[in-house]
Amino acid sequence: MPETLKPIQAEKGEDARQIRGERTRQALLEAAFDEIHQHGYRSASLNDILKAAGCTKGSLYHHFPDKHALGLAAIVDNVDRFMGTTWLRPLAQSTDPISTLLDILQRHVDGEVLCDVRLGCPLQNLSQEMSGLDEDFRTYLNGIHEQWRTAIADALRKGQDAGQVRKDISAEAAATMIIATHQGTVGLIKTAQSTDIGASSFEAFYQYLNSLRTTGNSTPGPKEGLTS
């Protein structure tokens, strides 16, 4: 115990207890998310979460009032980050919305986004399980959908203004359908336990998305011409 270091920690106000507490909190969030992702919220066992997080009931109920709060926090923590990096940011920065969408979707089909096909998309799993059961979860998940829809619609509108996207379609309606088709495809993949069916769905989806381009606008394949 080097005593010279101790005061420094104190001066910084870095309470070692708080640090440790924060670490177990994070461990709990992570373990909870994994458990929920694997088994769903209702079937997620607190004991299993504790085992994975390496702590005990006492710790859990010190940091969270109940299972509901733990689950919601774990979901929010993870989904917010995922949506931001995978969808919202790329779309906001895009100069060619159709190509950006094709790119994101292709990465799903390639299995680069969903770590495990069998588990499906956490957002979809949770929406499916909880939206009819718990209003807090539902409100949050629906909000995510809204953000998502708005991000796609905005990108499409921007594309319309730039003359890349046909103006005779409703950006909102197209955005809604794009989300529906994407979510539906992920669901099919999960049930089939195979990405083949996803590729089949994407084949038609690819044609549809390209049909949204203004005539004469180039239609690069999903794997090329959009890395810039």
Partner DNA sequence: TCCCACAAACCGACCGGTTGGTCTAGTATT
Partner DNA sequence: AATACTAGACCAACCGGTCGGTTTGTGGGA
- Footprint of DNA on this chain (CB under 7 A)? 6, 9-10, 12-18, 20-25, 44-48, 55-59, 61-63, 66-68
Using CB under 8 A as the binding rule, whether residue 205 contacts its own copies is answered as yes
Q: Which residues are CB-contacts of 95 (< 8 A; sequence separation ≥ 6)?
A: 162
Using CB under 8 A as the binding rule, whether residue 90 contacts its own copies is answered as no
Residues 35, 78: contact at Cβ < 8 Å? Answer: no
Residue 54: which region, alpha, beta or left (left: phi > 0; alpha: psi -120 to 50)?
A: left
Using CB under 8 A as the binding rule, whether residue 191 contacts its own copies is answered as yes
Residues 151, 133: contact at Cβ < 8 Å? Answer: no
DSSP character string of 137-164: HHHHHHHHHHHHHHHHHHHHHHHHHTTS
Closest approach of DNA to the CB of residue 13, in Å: 5
Partner interacting with residue 89 (select from DNA, its own copies, none; CB below 5-8 Å by kind)? none
CA distance 211 to 192: 28
Burial class, 223, CB count within 10 angstroms (exposed 0-12 / middle 13-18 / buried 19+): exposed
Using CB under 8 A as the binding rule, whether residue 145 contacts its own copies is answered as yes
Closest approach of DNA to the CB of residue 66, in Å: 4
Using CB under 8 A as the binding rule, whether residue 87 contacts its own copies is answered as no
Closest approach of its own copies to the CB of residue 2, in Å: 51
Using CB under 8 A as the binding rule, whether residue 18 contacts its own copies is answered as no
Q: Which stretch binds its own copies (CB under 8 A): 74-82, 92-100, 104-112, 135-143?
A: 135-143
Token pair recorded at residue 228: 């810039």
Q: Which stretch binds its own copies (CB under 8 A): 5-13, 55-63, 73-81, 182-190?
A: 182-190
Residues 157, 92: contact at Cβ < 8 Å? Answer: no
Partner interacting with residue 24 (select from DNA, its own copies, none; CB below 5-8 Å by kind)? DNA
Q: Which of residues 24-83 bind its own copies (CB under 8 A)?
A: 40, 42-43
Q: Give the closest residue to 124 by CA, choosing from 178, 79, 71.
A: 79
Q: Which stretch binds its own copies (CB under 8 A): 46-54, 80-88, 95-103, 137-145?
A: 137-145
How many CB atoms sit inside 10 A of residue 91's CB? Answer: 22
Q: Which of 172, 214, 219, 220 lies at the binding interface for its own copies (CB under 8 A)?
A: 172
Partner interacting with residue 52 (select from DNA, its own copies, none; CB below 5-8 Å by kind)? none
